[in-house]
């Protein structure tokens, strides 16, 4: 797929909005069902949605077979592991705290982009990502409680998410994004199924089924947007925009539950936005410079 950094940024911004709303629903569901059963049902429900996306964008069902099955299996495994650990972290930690730790993933992506994809990452982008992470810390206002083993769950999610997104980048131009999405949903359901013999299978209520269906559609849309984003732009270019999930969380909290963000959170949101806009400005300027010199 041809590089298009502005569109890649738009896809990642939209994905953060959809994912944040879906995370809130999942946080509510995990109070009644364990993470594995939610992954199992949600993945199964998302599979036909992913197949429908595949057909709607003009692909034949035969194209659901990956041209690089080993890479797709790796990427799907990382996607399933990330989703499982994200949902599991919601069982043990407040939503904002869990997301704050998970959002070290963009920093990991930047490092991996330089090391494995050989993408140039200058000090400007390194600095903007680090500053953006500082803004995330202000938004979440982390407490003073001592760290426990539980912190390993969202940290594992961050690492798996970074490896997943690097896999998306390496599959660019090989498979349609909807093929990658389909196998990610299959891996998510499989990851949940592995836990069922140990944690058991519970049956959602009618209202919970409806909510699960909504989350399945939302997770499919969000994952599709993420795959598109990483196929259109470098990981380092779009990584800071993933911090916007915490900004959306603040806005959703205000309009739905009446939560009013503190001044510290607002300052943090401003820092995150400024960091992302700075990287966007650097990238678009570089594109113009290359076009003028061509």
pTM over 0.75: no
Q: Among the listed ranges 45-49, 120-124, 240-244, which one has the minimum average pLDDT value?
A: 120-124
* Residue pLDDT, tens place only, 134-173: 777 776 665 544 446 777 888 889 889 888 877 777 666 7
Q: Which long-range contacts (CB under 8 A, 24 or more apart) does 18-21 make?
A: 18/218, 18/221, 18/222, 18/225, 19/218, 19/219, 19/222, 19/245, 20/245, 20/246, 20/248, 20/249, 20/252, 21/218, 21/248, 21/252
Q: What are the tokens at 4?
A: 């298009």
Question: Do the beta carbons of residue 119 and residue 113 sit within 8 Å?
Answer: yes
Query: 256: buried, middle or exposed (CB in 10 Å: 19+, 13-18, 0-12)?
Result: exposed
| pLDDT given at position 281 | 74
Q: What is the DSSP letter of 261?
A: P
Question: What is the C-alpha separation between 213 and 200, in angstroms, rounded?
Answer: 21
What pLDDT was estimated at residue 271? Answer: 81
Query: Dihedral sign, CA of 250, 254, 256, 258?
Result: positive
How far is the C-alpha of 201 from the C-alpha of 105, rounded, in Å? 31
pLDDT reported for residue 144 = 46
Q: Which two tokens stand for residue 13?
A: 């911004």
Summarised one tens digit per residue, pLDDT across range 21-47 is 998 888 888 888 888 999 999 999 999
Which tens digits make up the pLDDT trace of 72-113? Answer: 888 889 988 998 998 888 888 777 777 777 877 776 777 677
Higher-confidence residue: 8 or 286? 8
For the chain, the structural domain boundaries read 5-287
- Please identify which residue in the block is written with the tokens 């938004």: 139
Contact call for residues 102 and 245 (beta carbons, < 8 A): no
- 162 by Cβ neighbours in 10 Å (0-12 / 13-18 / 19+) ranks as buried
CB atoms within 10 A of CB 146: 6
Structure tokens at 95: 């939503």
Between residues 127 and 290, the one the model is more confident about: 127
Asked if residues 71 and 167 have their Cβ atoms less than 8 Å apart, the reply is: yes
């Amino acid at each position: 797929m041809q590089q298009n950094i502005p569109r890649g940024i738009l896809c990642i911004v939209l994905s953060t909005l959809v994912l944040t709303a879906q995370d809130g629903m999942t946080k509510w569901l995990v109070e009644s069902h364990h993470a594995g059963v939610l992954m199992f049902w949600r993945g199964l429900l998302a599979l036909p949605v992913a197949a429908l996306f595949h057909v709607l964008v003009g692909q034949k069902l035969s194209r659901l077979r990956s041209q690089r099955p080993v890479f797709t299996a790796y990427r799907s495994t990382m996607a399933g592991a990330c989703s499982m650990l994200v949902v599991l972290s919601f069982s043990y930690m407040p939503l904002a705290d869990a997301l704050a730790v998970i959002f070290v993933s963009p920093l990991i992506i930047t490092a991996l982009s330089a090391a494995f994809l050989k993408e140039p990452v200058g000090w400007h982008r390194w600095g903007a990502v680090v500053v953006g992470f500082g803004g995330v810390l202000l938004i979440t206002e982390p407490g003073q409680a001592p760290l426990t083993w539980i912190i390993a769950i969202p940290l594992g999610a961050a690492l798996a998410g970074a490896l997943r997104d690097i896999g998306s980048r390496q599959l660019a131009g090989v498979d349609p994004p909807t093929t990658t999405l389909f196998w990610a949903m299959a891996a998510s359901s499989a990851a949940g199924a592995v836990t069922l013999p140990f944690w058991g299978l519970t049956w959602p209520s009618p209202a919970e089924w409806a909510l699960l269906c909504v989350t399945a559609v939302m997770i499919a849309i969000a994952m599709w947007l993420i795959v598109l984003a990483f196929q259109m732009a470098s990981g380092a270019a779009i990584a800071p925009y993933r911090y916007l999930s915490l900004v959306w969380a603040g806005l959703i909290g205000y309009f739905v539950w009446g939560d009013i963000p503190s001044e510290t959170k607002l300052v943090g949101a401003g820092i995150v936005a400024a960091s992302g806009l700075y990287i966007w400005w650097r990238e678009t300027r570089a594109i113009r410079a290359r076009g003028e010199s061509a």
